[in-house]
Amino acid sequence: QQQVKQSPQSLIVQKGGISIINCAYENTAFDYFPWYQQFPGKGPALLIAIRPDVSEKKEGRFTISFNKSAKQFSLHIMDSQPGDSATYFCAASLARQLTFGSGTQLTVLP
Amino acid sequence: SQTIHQWPATLVQPVGSPLSLECTVEGTSNPNLYWYRQAAGRGLQLLFYSVGIGQISSEVPQNLSASRPQDRQFILSSKKLLLSDSGFYLCAWSPPTQGSGYTFGSGTRLTVV
């Protein structure tokens, strides 16, 4: 019940396209849903986050869509750029602990 | 502002040698502290977390241990390293309140040879 399932495992997108990464959870007690971006050899960095009382949050080219009834949330990267090529992790928080998805390796082709 | 420091950045150690990785946080009090390990191309595995001095919870039984001797210091140790201990080790902190994200350190690349 503590799992967060992330898909796809890898994603290749052309420059200018939309990248979409999906996550699903079971535990309705989760109260915070962040997304992290990790470049090779670096620690993950918080990219954008949402709370379950909001259905969408947008920051620049990055948008989180949250569907509470379906227990799913997704990251949309608009106008994807080669610099967006990284590994993305979704996560869900409960009682000061984050449960991470398995990660998505995004490659944006120039 | 809060900052997290983790060192060393890279480490090559022989099998059977001891290990000590250190992590410190500045600019906050009573943070929650975490140690994660990431195998090449894999996800994040929680190893230990701490909500206060001397309070350590272990998620995965192994030959690693953690200690929190000071409020903003978190140490990952091993008495004898195994080849399987190789990986990318990440320290992270979060505020003591619920519903917050983590801030990760820059990581330590450990290679056991």
Instruction: Write down the pLDDT at residue B100.
Output: 73
Nearest Cα to Cα of residue A61 among A20, A24, A5, A31: A20
Instruction: Write down the pLDDT at residue B91.
Output: 97
Q: What is the CATH number of the domain that holds A30?
A: 2.60.40.10
Name the average pLDDT for chain A: 95
Taking only the tens place, the pLDDT of each residue in B17-32 is 999 999 999 999 999 9
Q: How would residue A103 be classed by pLDDT, with cut points 50, 70 and 90?
A: very high
Q: How would residue B98 be classed by pLDDT, with cut points 50, 70 and 90?
A: low
- How many domains in chain A? 1
Q: What is the CATH number of the domain that holds B10?
A: 2.60.40.10
For the ranges A71-80, A95-104, B32-41, B90-99, the maximum mean pLDDT occurs at A71-80
Chain B residue numbers with beta carbons less than 8 Å from the beta carbon of A101 are 43
- How many domains in chain B? 1
Q: Which of B42, B44, B94 sits opposite A96 (nearest CB)?
A: B94
Cβ(B94)–Cβ(B101) below 8 Å: yes
What type of residue is B87? Answer: G
What type of residue is B52? Answer: G
Q: For residue B65, give its domain range.
A: 3-112
The alpha carbon of residue A42 and the mean position of all alpha carbons in its chain are separated, in whole angstroms, by: 17
Query: Does B105 contact A at CB distance below 8 Å?
Result: yes
Count Cβ neighbours within 10 Å for each residue of B61-71 and write b for 16 or more, e otherwise: eeebebbbeee
Name the average pLDDT for chain B: 92
Q: Do B90 and A44 touch (CB under 8 A)?
A: yes
Position A101 pLDDT exceeds 80 = yes
Mean pLDDT for the stretch of residues B78-87: 94
Mean pLDDT for the stretch of residues B35-55: 89
Nearest Cα to Cα of residue A47 among A32, A31, A63: A63
Instruction: Write down the pLDDT at residue A1.
Output: 58
Q: Which of A42, A89, A93 sits opposite B44 (nearest CB)?
A: A89
Q: How would residue B61 be classed by pLDDT, with cut points 50, 70 and 90?
A: low
Q: How would residue B96 be classed by pLDDT, with cut points 50, 70 and 90?
A: confident
Mean pLDDT for the stretch of residues B103-110: 95
Q: For residue A51, give its domain range.
A: 4-109
